[in-house]
Chains A and B, each alone.
Chain A
Amino acid sequence: MRERHHMLPVWFFIGMLLTIYGVIILITSIVDYSQPSSAVLSQYHPGIWGGILLLVIGGFYTLKFRPR
């Protein structure tokens, strides 16, 4: 969606937020890699997978809908 008056599309804001979250979660999970939390199934490192997923989705929206 790109509204009138050159309004930034909502997808750009979503992309930015998800990218920032992806970076935070990925860094946190990498730092804690050798000391998994007490969460169930933490041996699968869901934080790393989740961080990558957020970065991919966020990066896609940020790049596709960035202001030109």
Chain B
Amino acid sequence: MAFPFSLAAAVVWSGSDRLVKLAPSDLLIIGIYFVMVLGIGIYLRRYASTSNDFFMAGREMSAWVAGLSFLSANLGAIELMGWAASTYQYGILAAHFYWIAAFPSMIFLGLVMMPFYYISKTHSVPGYLQLRYNEATRALSGISFAVMTILMSGINMYAMALVMKVVLGWNIHFSIWVSSLTVAVYVALGGLYSAIFNEVLQFFLIWLGALIIPILGLIEVGGWSGLQAKIFERMHSSEYVHLWSTLGSFSSNPMGVNWAGVVFGLGGAIAFGYWTTDFLVVQRAMAAKDLRSAQLAPIIASYFKMVVPLIVILPGLLGLAVLPYHLVPESAMQPGLHSYNEVLPLMLARYCGPGMLGLGITALIAGFMSGMAGNVSAFATVWTYDIYQPYIRKGMSDQHYVRIGRWCTILGVVLSIGTAYFVTHFKSIMDYMQALLGFFIAPLFGAVIMGMMWKRATPKGGFCGLLVGTVSSVVMYTAVKIHPAWVRYVALSPDAKDMAENVYRALWSLLISMFVIFAVSLFTEPKPKAQLTGLVWSYTTFPAAEAMPVWKKPIFWGAGVAIFFVVLQWMFW
């Protein structure tokens, strides 16, 4: 999508009310990026001819490619801009979402759960639920995932368009249509191959484009100690730079949460739910060429996840220290003020000259597009395999399902665009959507983990647990919305804030889901052993480990990231 500069300028600039002004070299860099991702999609089309190619990238990705793609699919709009904004608001506590909310669950996925996904040769997480439980459980999970994925994709798209409007003065419709049609074309052409290739490309761009902020920022403030001193000077509080020491009670930190909520709710229910059962990310690891690569993919990703705070959390902290004005919440926005959500582009504009600014903006666009590509490719797979194939047109040719996958990609993007416009009219929906996504994640993890670990879990138990867990989460959420004081029952404290409510609600819905599966299973008929081989721990024979040096084994690298994690917690205690 390379426009001549003058045409690009005429089309995309909707006025002079913008944070940064791009030079011709910046526009050239952005234009080349669009040409490259489309070119990759066109090139890969010839390789995506079967359903295994289109939906699973032929299951031949190396551990590194699958791992970087696994991480990039998670580096979307909300991830990049949102957590930089949250850091400005809450301080380094936001890093918990990269550390405790990532490392244990990603290692667990690699070492414990991936063998089941891989050995069962399922195409999706709902597909695993069908094999382990029954069709009803798959339908419930598949439909809720498809709906949520489209909504999240649209919200990501809207968030991107909003940033482009505020930062660059670009027309919001232009941003939505150009970026989404680009994603539609390259994913529809090359399927998961294309999504994964571009996600790995985007991984490099995100890092190289955003790394200038922490490097120059730390030089400006005089290193970590200088940063701490400047934040204390401006905020008159040291709680913004401590990870654990302020979590003794709900009222002693800006996030309004305590350590138990962070460990069990965030690090347990939410993180395990997201990283081990959200098909958006799990699909990337399933595309690996063998079991060892599939196990290594999330472990490799976990190392990079641990250092993503360098380009997301640190810019938020630097914003607290060096920006000459205070940012405000979106709800308090007035002309002349800047919101928390603008902290990352503001920091880019602060340090980047011509050329580097183009690379930084391209990094943001790449992040938005990789998040969206992840959503639509996962949507196309789940829709085709878990809804269309079993319930609409059974027994059609492989070519037919590939064609449906391509059309589903287009359909997913069109629906996402519709969602994006829907959100522009009902902005509060964005707040609710985060909670809505959380409704499904924790109970889904309950159903999957009980199915993998407990041979007695029955189809009726799995379905009821998933349903009741989800409904209980919705009920808790609604109750607190109607009676805000009831947060004391959900989050165990009247001082609890939104984040605490989210993490405790996820924890309760997980426990409720697991309890219901346990209770219903005791009174219903389990599946025979023959149908559970390869799906349940005690009925699965894992392939004998190949003879290899210890440093090539997934568990070695899992132990390494555990040490890395402990060191980080100690450094920023």
- A: residues with CB less than 8 A from B are 1, 3-5, 7-8, 10, 13-14, 16-18, 20-21, 24-25, 27-29, 32, 36-37, 39-42, 44, 46-47, 50-51, 53-54, 57
Interface pair B29/A39, CB less than 8 Å apart: no
Can you list 5 A-B pairs, Cβ within 8 angstroms, ordered by A?
Answer: A1-B61, A24-B32, A50-B212, A50-B359, A57-B208
Contacts of B62 in A (CB 8 A): 1
Interface pair B356/A14, CB less than 8 Å apart: no
Interface pair A46/B25, CB less than 8 Å apart: no
Q: Say if the beta carbon of B437 comes within 8 Å of chain A.
A: no
Which residue of B58, B61, B216, B359 contacts A40 across the interface (Cβ within 8 Å)? B216
Interface pair B197/A10, CB less than 8 Å apart: yes
Chain B interface residue number, banded:
35 or more
Given A17-B32, A40-B216, A41-B216, the answer on whether A47 and B197 have CB atoms closer than 8 Å is no
Interface pair B201/A14, CB less than 8 Å apart: yes
Contacts of A53 in B (CB 8 A): 208
Q: Shortest Cβ distance from B325 into chain A, in angstroms?
A: 15
CA distance A50 to B220 in the complex (A): 18
Contacts of B423 in A (CB 8 A): none
Interface pair A41/B47, CB less than 8 Å apart: no
Q: Which residue of B lies closest to A7 (CB)?
A: B47
CB-contacts of B28-63 with A (<8 A): 28-29, 32-33, 36, 40, 43-44, 46-47, 58, 60-62
CB-contacts of B345-384 with A (<8 A): 349-356, 358-359
Contacts of B36 in A (CB 8 A): 13, 16-17
Contacts of B564 in A (CB 8 A): none
Interface pair A46/B32, CB less than 8 Å apart: no
- Besides A1-B62, A17-B36, 9 other CB < 8 A contacts? A4-B58, A13-B40, A13-B197, A14-B200, A21-B29, A24-B29, A29-B355, A41-B219, A47-B355
Interface pair A13/B201, CB less than 8 Å apart: yes
Q: Shortest Cβ distance from A24 into chain B, in angstroms?
A: 6
Interface pair A39/B350, CB less than 8 Å apart: yes
Closest 5 interchain pairs by CB? Answer: A37-B353, A25-B355, A28-B355, A28-B25, A1-B62
CA distance A10 to B216 in the complex (A): 30
User: Which of B219, B351, B355 is most buried by chain A, counting CB atoms within 10 A of its CB?
Assistant: B355
Interface pair A3/B47, CB less than 8 Å apart: yes
Q: Say if the beta carbon of B64 comes within 8 Å of chain A.
A: yes
User: Which of B40, B219, B353 is most buried by chain A, counting CB atoms within 10 A of its CB?
Assistant: B353
Q: Which residue of A lies closest to B24 (CB)?
A: A28
CA distance A5 to B33 in the complex (A): 26
Q: Say if the beta carbon of B224 comes within 8 Å of chain A.
A: no
Which residue of A5, A40, A50 contacts B350 across the interface (Cβ within 8 Å)? A40
Interface pair A44/B216, CB less than 8 Å apart: yes
Interface pair B28/A10, CB less than 8 Å apart: no
